[in-house]
Amino acid sequence: MTFAPDLLVGKHAFITGGTRGINLSIAHRFAKAGAKVTVIGRDAERAAGAEKQLRDAGATALALTADVRDYAAVDGVIGKSVAAHGPIDVLVCGAAGNFPAPAAAMSTNGFKAVVEIDLVGAFNACRAAFQHLRKPGACVTFISANQAYMPAMLQAHVCAAKAGVDMMMKALAMEWGGSGVRLNSIAPGPIADTEGMARLASTPEARAAAEKRVPLGRFGTKDEVAEVALFLASPAAAYITGAVLAMDGGFGLGGFGLNPLG
């Protein structure tokens, strides 16, 4: 699908975790479509680097530092971004944490770290942003994952967090539909060149084995996720809310069997 180059002109997109990875690609794509973008992350140096990178690409961009687990900090950066860029039209809840660990050896704090970043952090961003985005045409997109509906070894914390994110998204879609706000999740499968995949498939052998399990036979790209995020922010998605859009080359089908065609 080709999107109009001015699709998001005049719009403000606020992206948590937007200083790197998939979320930074989304920031670039939204900026290319004309949006003013705000990205937030925990690391000030990385935030400064992301802001420079976005501005060098021609974006009207602001990068701010906050931990999504801290409601006051999130509320503060949302206030600053609204002062700079105006009311929020698109919120992307992308901040996430992950590490592979067996549940029996994972500390409660380790489990909580991921649930608090992914789930509580998304709630904090939604709650703080709502007063600035409650209008018809506004939308919230969550970056979920296959783990939300596919149980995975060494991922008890991520499975719990992402399943929570998707169900929270649906509850908010019910509550905020009357204000004209749409909420949806993108559930990416294995995406190349991300910190998540580097952690979950850390060797070439593990990557090759993972690729074999994808019906489309390859990992996705960050740019492909960004295109789906743009679609969800576009008028083409005006009647889509409460949906979890799997974006995984068929990985989440979880089927099995021999392909007679080889």
- Kindly list the catalytic residues: 144, 162
CA-based R_g, the chain, Å: 18
Task: Please check whether residue 52 is in contact with residue 77, taking contact to mean a CB–CB distance below 8 angstroms.
Answer: no
State the alpha helices, DSSP H only, in 2-65.
Answer: 21-32, 44-56
In the bound state with ligand COA, the residue whose beta carbon lies nearer, of 67 and 240, is 67
In the bound state with ligand COA, the residue whose beta carbon lies nearer, of 71 and 99, is 99
Instruction: Tell me which residue has its CB nearest to ligand COA.
Output: 97
In the bound state with ligand COA, the residue whose beta carbon lies nearer, of 82 and 187, is 187
Query: CB of 60: closest distance to ligand COA in angstroms?
Result: 27
Task: Please check whether residue 189 is in contact with residue 146, taking contact to mean a CB–CB distance below 8 angstroms.
Answer: yes
Query: CB of 43: closest distance to ligand COA in angstroms?
Result: 9
If DSSP codes are grouped into helix, strand and coil, which group holds residue 129?
helix
In the bound state with ligand COA, the residue whose beta carbon lies nearer, of 45 and 195, is 195
Query: CB of 138: closest distance to ligand COA in angstroms?
Result: 26
Residues 6+ apart with CB under 8 A from 248: 146, 187, 188, 189, 190, 214, 220
In the bound state with ligand COA, the residue whose beta carbon lies nearer, of 117 and 165, is 117
Residues 6+ apart with CB under 8 A from 254: 150
Q: Which of 62, 247, 76, 243 is nearest to 167 (CA)?
A: 243
The enclosing H or E element of 212 equals: helix 204-212
What span, in angstroms and rounded, lies between the C-alpha atoms of 209 and 204? 9
Query: CB of 102: closest distance to ligand COA in angstroms?
Result: 9
- DSSP conformation class of 252: G
Query: CB of 257: closest distance to ligand COA in angstroms?
Result: 30
In the bound state with ligand COA, the residue whose beta carbon lies nearer, of 175 and 193, is 193
Neighbours of 32 (CB within 10 A): 17
Q: Which residues bind ligand COA (CB under 6 A)?
A: 96-99, 101, 106-107, 109-110, 113-114, 117, 195-196
Neighbours of 118 (CB within 10 A): 31
Task: Return left, alpha or beta for 100; rule: phi > 0 is left, psi -120 to 50 is alpha, else beta.
Answer: beta
Query: CB of 260: closest distance to ligand COA in angstroms?
Result: 36
